[in-house]
Amino acid sequence: MERIFLLLLLLLLLAQWAETSHGKLKSQEEKNEGTSERVLIRSKRRWVLTTIELEEESPGPFPVKITELFNDKQDDYSVRFSISGQGVTKDPKGALGINEQTGEVYMYKPIDRETFPVFYVEFDVFDAKTGKTLDKTLSFNVAILDKNDNPPVFKPQILYIQVPENIKEGVLPFSLQASDKDQEDSDNSRISMKIVSQDPALPKFSLRSISSVNDSTISKIYFTGCFDYDKVRTYRMLVEARDHGQPSLSSTATVHIGITDSNTRAPVFIAPKYDAQVMEMETNKEILRIPVQDQDTPKTPASRAVFTILKGNEEGNYKIETDPVTNEGVLTVIKAKDYERTTLTELEIGVANEEPLFLCVDGKPVSPIPETLKKNSTVKVAVKVIDVNDPPVFQNKIKVVYRVEEEEPGDVLYTPVVTDEDSDPANIRYKLIEDPAKWMSIDPKTCKITLAKKMDRESPYVRNDTYTVVMLAIDDGEPPATGTGTLVVQLGDKNDNKPHLTSNNSVMCGSKSDRVIVTAEDADAFPFSGPFTFTLGTEDQGLKSLWRLEPSTGQETSLISLTSLPYGTYSIPLKIADHQGMLTHNILQVVVCDCGTGDVCQDLLPRTSSLHGAAIGILLGALLLMALILCFCFFCECQEENKFKRYLQFDGNQTLIAYNDEGGGSVCKADPQLIQSPTGIICTLKTEQQSPTNHFGNLNTGTIQVSNGFRGTTDLRNIYGMSTSWTKNSRNSTYDTVWSGLSKSFSFNMEDFLEMKLSKLSKELQDFPEYQPQDYSSEGTIINAVSLDKLSFGSTRDEPDLVRNLGPKFTTLDEICQKAIKEKNIKL
């Protein structure tokens, strides 16, 4: 039937291509209505092709003629035939060919249908002389007739599977698959499977086909009965797959089935009863190990034990777990047992496996499992509670009391209630084990807690306003048992701390700011701390004209400079009051300096604003010393040459000095003396009168009164900042001469001079200079004497004249000093 169907299909195709392409289209123009008609004339088919049948895997001999071509152009032309497409110009090349003169088609080699089920070929006809195509190309599909040349194939041919021993009878969770490459839906590809052999024979296996997908057939494996791991652990089965072609072809596959052990034997206890004991009030301790036996494969779900406490653990005092290494049951007490209430507990413990028990009788699974098989799966355990010395127990483990700090000692804070089931309360003794500040005392018999010292809320031992005390109670048992209780004292605050500055030093960058932040703090809590009230700590209007505090209340304030201040250190007294009015006095040291672009002082502070008291005293002494030396140098009147020589006899180091003076004079016989007066310092020079005819007058002493100031101008009266009192003699010319010489010698700014001298000293000596006493009374050369040039600072313009006129000027100064001493009635 199939061959007849293919022949009819080929004839139909030939009929379509055999229609003639000759026709003549006649057209006739008709003038009415401007219409035209085309007439299509049907012609006969020009190609003629006999039936083509290609047999798969034809044995030959080759070449084999399969068909012959005809074309009606053969009557008019000398033609040449050609063939192309699959089998000729495309794979499989060389399978087909044609005789170009006769049109006979040949097959030259076998063809595999499974590789090329259909050939697509084309035929053409040409003029043999000119090579011109004489007709349209004839396309033709050549079907290959199938031959049963492929047997069924298993995927895979060897199959290994494993099933548990306790699997229920029925289908196994695996399948067999086989396929055939021959033509689909034909007998050549239709497959049937069967079990050829099975070893061992029981349980019985069978195959059942479940589906056919494309060219594959799938079958499931069924069995009836039970597996027994202890008897048979592997099965071997040979399966055949056969097609229905002619001749029929077949193949085989081998299936290996492995059996894994299941829980077919229940675990059993070795002994029927066990005894254990636990100390009273003991917790989290292993008290018993219970071994079991199981004949299933070790360390598998079939043999791993699962223990359960069936009875006797209603209060949850015990638990039992499985040791994964030994497979024993570990019994543990997890909640304390009280001996006074319970002395003996009987537990019933059961055991099973992680995997449910499976039982097969006479090849049939048994469910449910009879209780007779579980008789050895339970055991009794007697747990004895051993009495121990119970510790004392505080009725209140934690007690909170409220007190205010700084209360007087002697107050009873707390008397706890302590009980002990094994001891007489009178035999319990108490002590403190935690009292970090030692504020408490405890009665060792009654545990009464008494305040022994005042409590300070600001103490480092108080945290979050609470102070914690821990008490210990010790009974008289063997060994003694102890219990603890805690007393928490919640401390209230008092205003017992004064506010103070967080920092007493501050820096004001005078080049870019006129204020500093002042911050206060108080150890007390609100409302005994801030907000604070800030005021200046003095009523001095001069200070108030320089500084202002703004705002006056708050946690901090700003100290504002009202004027442009010289660089230096300023001590500002402040008064700070807390929220309740408690007042404190503080001194804030403010350093005013140039910070440049940063916030740190760059230059050294000027000495005029930050000199220490000792430094000021040293500077005053230096100024007075220089004044005395000048007085000694400028105004001392020397004696005549013969009297001077006699004076030199008393000097251990005699030196002849010419003064070029006419008239009498006085010789200095004593060092200048400094006398402190209420209005300043008096310089006193004692001289010896040499001649009554001295034109300077009869004055024996001279006095210069100097104030304690620093700053001055070019006038000697203003060098020390205040007026200088001079006592003149009757001759104003003499006074004017002396004053004129001194004025010329001191025509400079004393402040600039001192700063110049100080800048040459080291930083340490600037603040605390050290001076050693020097001897300047001798005339002549003394090796150990320090040169006066180190102290001289006279004008270079007047210095030569001053040296030449030293005698008369010094005499006049001596007279002035003597007269001042007499007028003020000063005793030397």
Fold observed for domain 268-386 = Immunoglobulin-like (2.60.40)
What is the distance, to the nearest Å, from the Cα of residue 703 to the centroid of all Cα atoms in its chain? 81
Rg of the chain over all Cα atoms, to the nearest angstrom: 68
CATH architecture of 2-145: Sandwich (2.60)
Map tokens 């057209």 to a residue.
Answer: 27
Q: Which residues contact 151 (CB under 8 A, 6 or more apart)?
A: 180, 243, 249, 250, 251
The pTM assigned to this predicted structure is 0.42
* Domain locations along the chain: 2-145, 153-260, 268-386, 393-492, 500-593, 613-824
Task: Write down the architecture of domain 500-593 according to CATH.
Answer: Sandwich (2.60)
Per-residue pLDDT, 452:
93
Task: State which fold the 393-492 domain adopts.
Answer: Immunoglobulin-like (2.60.40)
Question: What digits encode the pLDDT tens for the residues 322-334?
Answer: 999 999 999 999 9
Coil, strand, or helix at residue 40? Answer: coil
Report which residue type is found at 714: T
Own/partner contacts of 751-755, CB < 8 Å, gap of 24 or more, are 751/608, 751/710, 751/711, 751/712, 753/793, 754/619, 754/710, 755/607
Distance CA(789)–CA(800), nearest Å, equals 14
Cα–Cα distance, 463 to 488 (Å, whole number): 11
pLDDT of residue 597: 79
Of 291, 317, 316, the C-alpha closest to 305 is: 291
- Residue 447's pLDDT is what? 92
Tell me which residues of the chain have a pLDDT lower than 50.
Answer: 15-44, 604-609, 638-748, 764, 768, 778, 780-805
Q: Which residues of 809-824 are buried (b: 16+ CB within 10 A; e: fewer)?
A: bbbbbbbbbbbbbeee
Tell me: domain 153-260, CATH 2.60.40.60, correct?
yes
- pLDDT at residue number 796: 42
Contact of 303 with 327, CB cutoff 8 Å: yes
Question: 153-260 and 393-492: same fold?
Answer: yes
Q: Residue 761: what pLDDT?
A: 59
Phi, psi of 151 (to 5 degrees): -80, 165
Residue 321: its pLDDT value, please?
95
- Specify the length of the chain in residues: 828
Helices (H), 115-210: none
